[in-house]
Amino acid sequence: MKQCELTCFAKQLSSSPFRNRFRQGKLHRVIINILFLLSIASFVILLGTFINYHVRKFLISEEDYSYLPPLHQLSPPPPPPPPWSHYSYVLCNFAFSSSSSSSSSSSSTSLHPTFNSSQLNSHWTAPDLEDAWHSMTDEELMWRASMVPNIVKYPYTRKTKVAFMFLSRGKLPLAPLWEKFFQGHKGLFSIYIHTSPEFIDEATGNSVFYKRRIPSKPVEWGMATMIDAERRLLANALLDFSNERFVLLSETCIPLFNFTTIYNYLVNSNQSFIGSFDDPRFTGRGRYNKHMWPTVSLEEWRKGSQWFEVNRKLAVEIVSDGKYYPVFKEHCNPPCYMDEHYFPTLVNIISPGLNSNRSITWVDWSRGGSHPTTYVRNDVSVALLNQIRQGFNCTYKGGVTSICFLFGRKFHPSTLHPLLGIAPALLGFDGQ
């Protein structure tokens, strides 16, 4: 605009009647010089505007990042800006003598919430979070749980924990056995319980199950709502950054070893324990729906027990899965059961090398039928437990071990009493 005005002015001048009168004079040259200087000045102003706009964008976005309190806490002070940007900033301020300097970083400190490091620790690791309840929606929860720190080293002493996730209709009838199992191991485990929403009983204050219920929704066995509940459990457990291994258990499960043995077995393994096999029969491949192609192929299709154990990396992938879950939800309907196929197939596709392909939760199918054996009071004996504890061979950490199952199901509530009688001595519960 300015340039145009100047040019037009010059044209007017050169075509005006003055022209003849001053043609030979000095005035003409002076005007030419002034016009030249004015053009240069307007060019500098335009350049200044351009640089000022870009430098401001750069400065403002960098400041936005520093509003994230945790990052601000953990990161070293920002490096000085490179010399050129300093120069540009000075230049544009010079060219414009403007009001834009108000966005400089000096004003930002008062806007930071003041975090101190003990709050920071409890915020991210939740060791003091006594109550598993919260008000997040599933969508908010999954998003929050899917976050992975990019810095490998933890800024606090991280004690690896195992998350025990109970998927139950109501109360846990075998809770007294679990209480003995956990006794003396505070800080090495966390408990999460998903129940029917209408179940609101609370354990007593000195119980390990006190305030460990998570916000739950109705579950239909064998349907997608069951997978939703399992993902909800995983997501809640992921909120605690100290949880490294995640075991899914039912109310009929019992531990087959003491805490120390189970903890070491899981923490020292780099594999997850999800039963996953290719069943060529109608009860396996027969449940594959060809509409799942090409997201899931028949060759990738797997079957396995729903009672999984996964490490943190896989747990994050499971709660983040937006690709396979919708396909299963739409196309895996009875006689296809999502709880027998979704996790085994998913892990086979996304990280086959990191799964042992076997479950660590034992169940007895030997009596035939479509349901496994439920053990009642008179079935419980040292011989039965030892048979499950030592009667198998399997691979573990590249070798062979006789410890293949860490948990057993299905134990009826009536087994509690005999179990309390023999388990502490047999399994070697600490402090007994």
- Least Cβ distance, residue 262 to ligand NAG (angstroms): 9
Q: Between 192 and 263, whose beta carbon lies closer to ligand NAG?
A: 263
Chain residues that interact with ligand NAG, rule: CB under 6 A = 116, 118-119, 257-258, 260-261, 270, 348, 352-353, 355-357, 391-393, 397-398, 428, 430
As measured in angstroms, the least distance from the Cβ of 427 to ligand NAG is 7
Closest distance of CB 282 from ligand NAG, Å: 20
The least distance separating ligand NAG from the CB of residue 150, rounded to whole angstroms, comes to 20
Minimum Å distance from CB 304 to ligand NAG? 10
Question: How far apart are the C-alpha atoms of 245 and 281, rounded to whole Å?
Answer: 32
What is d(CA 432, CA 429) in angstroms, rounded to the nearest whole number? 6
Find the largest Cα–Cα distance for the chain.
127
Alpha-carbon distances, residue 175 vs 180, 254, 386, 406, 420 (angstroms) = 9, 9, 22, 17, 11
Q: Is residue 162 classed as helix, strand or coil in its secondary structure?
A: strand
Residue with smaller CB distance to ligand NAG, 355 or 359: 355
Whole-angstrom Cα distance, residue 346 to residue 315? Answer: 12
Q: Which is nearer to ligand NAG, 63 or 430 (CB)?
A: 430
Looking at beta carbons only, is 7 or 395 nearer to ligand NAG?
A: 395
Question: Distance between CA 270 and CA 311 in Å, rounded?
Answer: 8
Whether the upstream peptide bond of residue 334 has omega within 30° of 0, thus cis, is no
Residue placing its CB nearer to ligand NAG in the complex, 197 or 428: 428
- Nearest to ligand NAG by Cβ — which residue? 428
Supply the minimum distance, in Å, between the C-beta of residue 260 and ligand NAG: 5
Closest separation in Å from C-beta 199 to ligand NAG: 33
Extract the tokens encoding 211: 């305030």
- Nearest approach, Cβ of residue 193 and ligand NAG (Å): 25
CA-based nearest residue to 389, from 376, 373, 401: 401
Axis crossing angle, helix 138-145 with helix 312-320, rounded to the nearest 10: 140
Closer CB to ligand NAG, 60 or 425, in the complex? 425
C-alpha–C-alpha distance, residues 297 and 306, integer Å = 21
Is the Cβ–Cβ distance between 219 and 196 less than 8 Å? Answer: yes
CB of 153 to ligand NAG, least distance (A): 19
The DSSP bridge pattern shows strands 399-401 and 361-362 to be unpaired
Nearest to 402 by CA among 423, 387, 383: 387
Q: In the complex, what is the shortest distance from the CB of residue 221 to ligand NAG, in angstroms, rounded to a whole number?
A: 27
In the complex with ligand NAG, the residue whose CB is nearer, 149 or 428, is 428
Give dist(CA 322, CA 319) in Å, integer.
8
Buried b / exposed e over 208-237, threshold 16 CB at 10 Å, is bbeebbbbbeebeebbbebbbbbbbbbbbb
Radius of gyration of the chain from its Cα atoms, rounded to whole angstroms = 34
Rounded to the nearest whole angstrom, what is the least distance from the CB of residue 386 to ligand NAG in the complex? 11
Helix (H, G, I), strand (E, B) or coil at 343: helix
Helix (H) or strand (E) holding 396: strand 394-396
Q: Which is nearer to ligand NAG, 128 or 139 (CB)?
A: 128
Which of residues 113 and 369 has its CB atom nearest to ligand NAG in the complex?
113
Contact 355, 344 (CB under 8 A): no
Dihedral angle computed from the Cα positions of residues 74, 76, 78 and 80, in that order, rounded to the nearest 10 degrees: 180
β-strands 243-250, 309-311: how paired?
Answer: antiparallel
- Looking at beta carbons only, is 52 or 355 nearer to ligand NAG? 355
**Nearest Cα to 255, choosing from 162, 131, 372, 331?**
162
Please identify, using beta-carbon distances, which residue of 369 and 398 lies nearer to ligand NAG. 398
